[in-house]
Amino acid sequence: MQNGELQGNVKTRIRIIIISAAALAFGASIFTVSSAPNQLSLFSRAISPSIETPDDATAPSVRGSTFSHSTRAHREGKYASCESCHAIPTRNWATARKDPYPDVKNYPYHPSCFGCHAKDVYSNGGAFCGTCHTEASMRARGGAGVLPFPIKSHAMQFTTIFPHDLHQNLIASDTTRNDVALGHFMLASFAINATPTPTPAAAPAPVFYNCAICHKTITQMPKYVPRKITGEKSLADATADTFTALSKTGADFFKDGPDSHASCFTCHYQRVKPAAYDCAGCHRLTEPYFEKKAIERYSLKFSHSTTNHVNKDCTTCHVRITQNSDISKMKDADVPFQTCSTSSCHGSNIEEETKKREASSAAKQPAFQCSYCHTTAVGRYDIPPSHRKY
């Protein structure tokens, strides 16, 4: 067996046995169905009759609240290993998606919790069951009775670890072709909608494989907002924005990014570390947070799809992405102003707008709001130093 090789269901079964054994070693006093409270009768039909409980002293008390990965008992000892709860693939993988692939599409199963939480299981009318089931009671059922995993309304507890630098060394360095068709690295399920937005360019756009396996042009208008400017002076109140035909914000202005394992497991499922079962290799515990639902932009007039943008390699503009080792350190899409302002591209635009701004302030008139790349939400601020180097 190669390192990290998964044995599918076999492995899962072994895992569950280990957990029960460990729970026993925990000093559990085994009780049987008959000694349990009344409401257990329903429950006992559903799951195996012998449930282990830990010492009363360490037994937690829970009232159907949200599971936290930061709770000490949930991350110490053998639970430091994510695998102790999360099975990969989960039994439902083949039916959980339209274009299925082996994935984590379900909660940990009962033995991962019931050992420590035996008391909670029977208390409060089975509120604990509501952690994972639609029915927060002993009447909880399997199948459709299990909540969709993960629960989207819950705060995220992890950030993703993905080093662009290493992966570019790996994917980008060899090829001199840009026109490789997508497909094999990516599952069909990962592609959003069937009909791609036609680009203004007549010829089909080149595909920059080294990025496009994970970032694609968006085909349905996403939510978007101008990025909040901090640390600079706003020189005027926002006014109504004007757009040209080319700068009118459209879906194909934007790129998406991975929101599933599809673009990772093609390489990492087994053998290539971190392998799929090593959740912590790609997920870093953090303060719970809610993901921003809208794409933030400095330039809402920038389109990835216009003729003179779509024909550039992604790294022509994203000049620092190949040295980024930690996406959590990226404050924005990191397209330094210099990459737009080189004289052949937008040098004249920034020169012109700078002059207009300076003229307006010299004439003590309301500040000129830069509108070539920006909407007024950004264009009414002081000119940042980066914009002075063109």
Classify strands 295-297 and 283-289 as parallel, antiparallel or unpaired.
Answer: unpaired
End-to-end CA distance of the chain: 57
Question: What residue 111 binds from other proteins, ligand HEC, none (CB within 5 to 8 A, per partner kind)?
Answer: none
Minimal CA–CA distance to 374: which of 347, 353, 356? 353
Tokens representing residue 374 in the block = 């920006």
Question: What residue 138 binds from ligand HEC, other proteins, none (CB within 5 to 8 A, per partner kind)?
Answer: ligand HEC
Question: What residue 28 binds from other proteins, ligand HEC, none (CB within 5 to 8 A, per partner kind)?
Answer: none
- Considering only residues 223 to 252 of the shown chain, the ones binding other proteins according to CB under 8 A are 231
Q: Does 102 bind other proteins (CB under 8 A)?
A: yes
Give the angle 56-81-84 at the CA atoms, nearest 5°: 60
Tokens 């264009």, residue? 379
Which residue, 184 or 223, is less far from other proteins as judged by CB? 184
Q: How far is the CB of 320 from other proteins (least distance, A)?
A: 7
Give the angle 215-219-225 at the CA atoms, nearest 5°: 80
Binding test (CB under 8 A) with other proteins, winner from 34, 153, 176, 308: 176
Binding test (CB under 8 A) with other proteins, winner from 112, 217, 247, 270: 270
Collapsing DSSP states into helix, strand and coil, what is residue 381?
Answer: strand
Which residue, 112 or 270, is less far from other proteins as judged by CB? 270
Site stretch for other proteins (CB under 8 A), options 2-10, 74-82, 143-151, 243-251:
2-10
Give the angle 152-291-212 at the CA atoms, nearest 5°: 100
Q: How far is the CB of 195 from ligand HEC (least distance, A)?
A: 19
CB atoms within 10 A of CB 144: 8
Question: What residue 3 binds from ligand HEC, other proteins, none (CB within 5 to 8 A, per partner kind)?
Answer: other proteins
Tokens representing residue 19 in the block = 């957990």
Cβ atoms of 370 and 357 within 8 Å: the answer is yes
Radius of gyration of the chain (CA): 27
Classify strands 224-226 and 295-297 as parallel, antiparallel or unpaired.
Answer: parallel
Q: Does 37 bind other proteins (CB under 8 A)?
A: no
Dist. CA 87–CA 109, nearest whole Å: 9
Q: Does 171 bind other proteins (CB under 8 A)?
A: yes
- Considering only residues 321 to 360 of the shown chain, the ones binding other proteins according to CB under 8 A are 322-323, 331-332, 336, 338-339
Q: Give yes or no for a cis peptide into 274 (omega within 30° of 0).
A: yes
Question: What residue 174 binds from other proteins, ligand HEC, none (CB within 5 to 8 A, per partner kind)?
Answer: other proteins
Binding test (CB under 8 A) with other proteins, winner from 29, 32, 48, 386: 386
Catalog residues that contact other proteins under the rule CB under 8 A. Answer: 2-3, 6, 8, 94, 99-102, 165, 168-178, 180-181, 183-188, 208, 210, 231, 265-272, 311-316, 319-320, 322-323, 331-332, 336, 338-339, 384-386, 388-390
